[in-house]
A and B are shown apart, each in its own frame.
Chain A
Amino acid sequence: MKNIDTYTVQVMADMAAEGKSPEYLFWVGCAGAFDARYKKVTVAFAKLLLHAGVDFAILGSEETCNGDPARRAGNEMLFQMQALQVIEKLNTYKVTKILTCCPHCFNIFKNEYPDLGGHYEVIHHTVFLENLINNGKLKVNKEVLSQKSIVYHDPCYLGRGNDIYESARQINAAVTSKTLEMPRSRSKALCCGAGGAQMFKEAEPGNKEVYIERTEEALQTGANIVATSCPFCMTMITDGIKYKNREDEVKNMDIAEILLASLLTQQDEKLS
């Protein structure tokens, strides 16, 4: 694990100009680049990668939507236009491994890009971070969050969509002994309400918003932190906590932020 004074993130085009190509592409995603709240998650994950000494770069301004929301909204034409462009771009940089914080980007790269000729090893940040802890590349200071209880909300596209349930839970268990579960969890988890392009439209008439239903369930566990690992889940749960006027006591944090907050610095190591 490295101590870092100034964090710097490499951009693909600059590396290519120097004739270099990194091991991983960190696909930031649109929410990761533009959503005011979620940008903090991007920053947290990038810092963790730098601390762990991971060889990675971003596409920067060359990144474009991979078409997932268009596809889920039924606009296959637009999706494929985007996807073919993205594949061409990734080919020029000879990308073979993709890291991403967004389960929707993860799913479409991993499962659907192969149909269009894009084959990559795609790793979601929760899985990657769990491995960095297990390999000793990142070390956890158990003191920081030991008094906080954490409940994890499963994103649909990571959980049911791709059978990844345990990585985030392992990270939570590494930072606190107070991990909680909602009644509906893992494959029975309730959606946050934003998937399938719902993020970009008004909800149909009903008697409740899905995100309120889910936030209430999370709040009923009494957790101090509701952990998420998806940008859309974060928007919904953060909104839900605000709607319930509980933002002073309950925080919604991404797994990357939770881990960064508990990271064992070299200073801590000297003290112990």
Chain B
Amino acid sequence: MMKQIIFSIVLLATLGVFAYSMKRLWYNFSLTHKYPVGNWGERFIIMLKVAIGQTKIFRYPIAGFFHALVFWGFIVITLGSIEMVVDGIIGRERVFAPTGWFYDFVTASGDIMAYVIIVSILVFIGRRLFIRIKRFYGIEMKPKSKIDALIALTIILLLMVSLAGLNLAYYQMHTADYEGLYPISALLAPSLFGGLNAQGLHIIHEISWWSHILLIFLFANILPYSKHFHVFTSVPNVFLTRLGPLGYLQNMPAITSEIKYMLYPETAEVPAEAGTVRYGVKESNDVTWKNYLDSLACTECGRCTDNCPANITGKKLSPRKIFVDLRARMKEYAAGTREKGMTFEDGKSFLHTYVTAEELWACTTCNACATECPVNINHPSLILDMRRFMVMEEAAAPAGLNAMFANIENNGAPWQYPPEDRLNWLNDLNK
């Protein structure tokens, strides 16, 4: 009974802290703009393929292989964790056991995956510590990001070690009944815990049980403040993928109504008062909630930047940085508006203070970033929205582009040629 009470208090505290973090995030989302969703069936298929099937992460085969193992392992192990929580509350053991073969399957695969994840996480930690992987560096990768990654990996490692301890002790206590359910632990337990008596095994089991469950609670509450929040956000982010071909750029209906009003003042609807709508993105609250979710789903793997032609050739643009910056600026901006209201002003903004014009103008909109992103972040659409602000609100385009605009306005082509010359190539048809 005591164990149940302590467990329930810890669980309530965990949920309380988590709810607080979510409430703050909800506020951040409430500052952002709308983003259309629909086509649930298509989204579901994309989620099955990209998130559950891990298809895009395999574009880097070695890291992808280990990541997929960890991800699939997490799915079965999470089912076991849910059982542990129910067990903890009602003070029983293995409450889901009556589900029969399904239970056996989940328990057995959970046991195998615990060890698979231990190996994978050791590979990930070793790779971060001993191999210099270019995409883990860059100006947006501060020492803090490095520590953040190592903390998350260490917690996962400890989670799996405690789970293994739990399985090993449990198996050793019930060898006869549970043989098939713990394929790997069954192999290891006799040599590891063979010498312990029932009392010793019970103590190890209890220590492992409590460390595992407390680590889960701790991890869940660190995540909202870590890049590893993608554990929660990546599957929804993939589900909410911007649909359609990557070449598509979202329309600005506000401009359409303004132009239609200009061209047909009698018939068109009167557009929103000029000056009340901001064109494009300057501040973190000008983005859509999907852009912001993208920033929360980014785990800073750097595949976008690794494949960016501008970044490869030494330009300042790093697609990853834009989303790392958005997340950081939103945190700062939301804290300000929460305290001082929507008139909050700190002399900074997402565009310019965080992301500079030089970065944004280096983009070729080639979509290599969006193609690589394992969680379907759409970088070019945000880059373009920031260009839109610079051009339409600040009239601050590079000189070459201003000349191109003028040519299109004057002679209907990006270069200075008159429309009559469009037929000149016909003269070469019979040469």
Contact = CB atoms under 8 A, between A and B. Distances in A.
Interface of A: 6-9, 11, 28, 30, 32-34, 39-40, 42-43, 46-47, 59-65, 67, 69-78, 80-82, 84, 107, 111-112, 115-116, 156-157, 160-163, 187-188, 190-191, 193-210, 213-214
Interface stretch (B144-152, B193-201, B247-255, B291-299): B247-255
Contact of B368 (A34, A69, A160, A199): A160
Contacts of B258: 77
Contacts of A190: 309, 312, 368
Interface residues of B, number: 71
Query: Max chain A CB contacts within 10 Å: which of B366, B399, B430?
Result: B366
B425 A33 contact: yes
Interface in B351-377: 358, 361-368, 370-371
Given A74-B387, A213-B309, 4 more contacts: A111-B249, A191-B368, A193-B364, A206-B314
A156 B371 CA distance: 11
A80 B244 contact: no
Contacts, number: 214
B390 to A, nearest CB: 6
B279 A107 contact: no
Contacts of A63: 412, 419, 422
Given A61-B420, A73-B405, A75-B397, A195 B415 contact: no
Given A67-B408, A71-B249, A202-B398, A210 B316 contact: no
Contact of A209 (B313, B384, B422): B313
A271 B384 CA distance: 56
Contacts of B279: 76
A167 B232 CA distance: 40
A61 B422 CA distance: 5
Contacts of B288: none
Contacts of A116: 251, 256
B404 A111 contact: no
A107 B279 CA distance: 23
A196 B59 CA distance: 25
B263 A162 contact: no
28 contacts: A33-B425, A43-B429, A63-B422, A64-B419, A65-B413, A69-B404, A80-B256, A107-B247, A107-B248, A111-B247, A112-B249, A156-B368, A187-B371, A191-B368, A193-B364, A196-B380, A198-B364, A199-B414, A200-B401, A201-B398, A201-B399, A202-B400, A203-B315, A203-B362, A206-B310, A206-B314, A208-B313, A208-B314
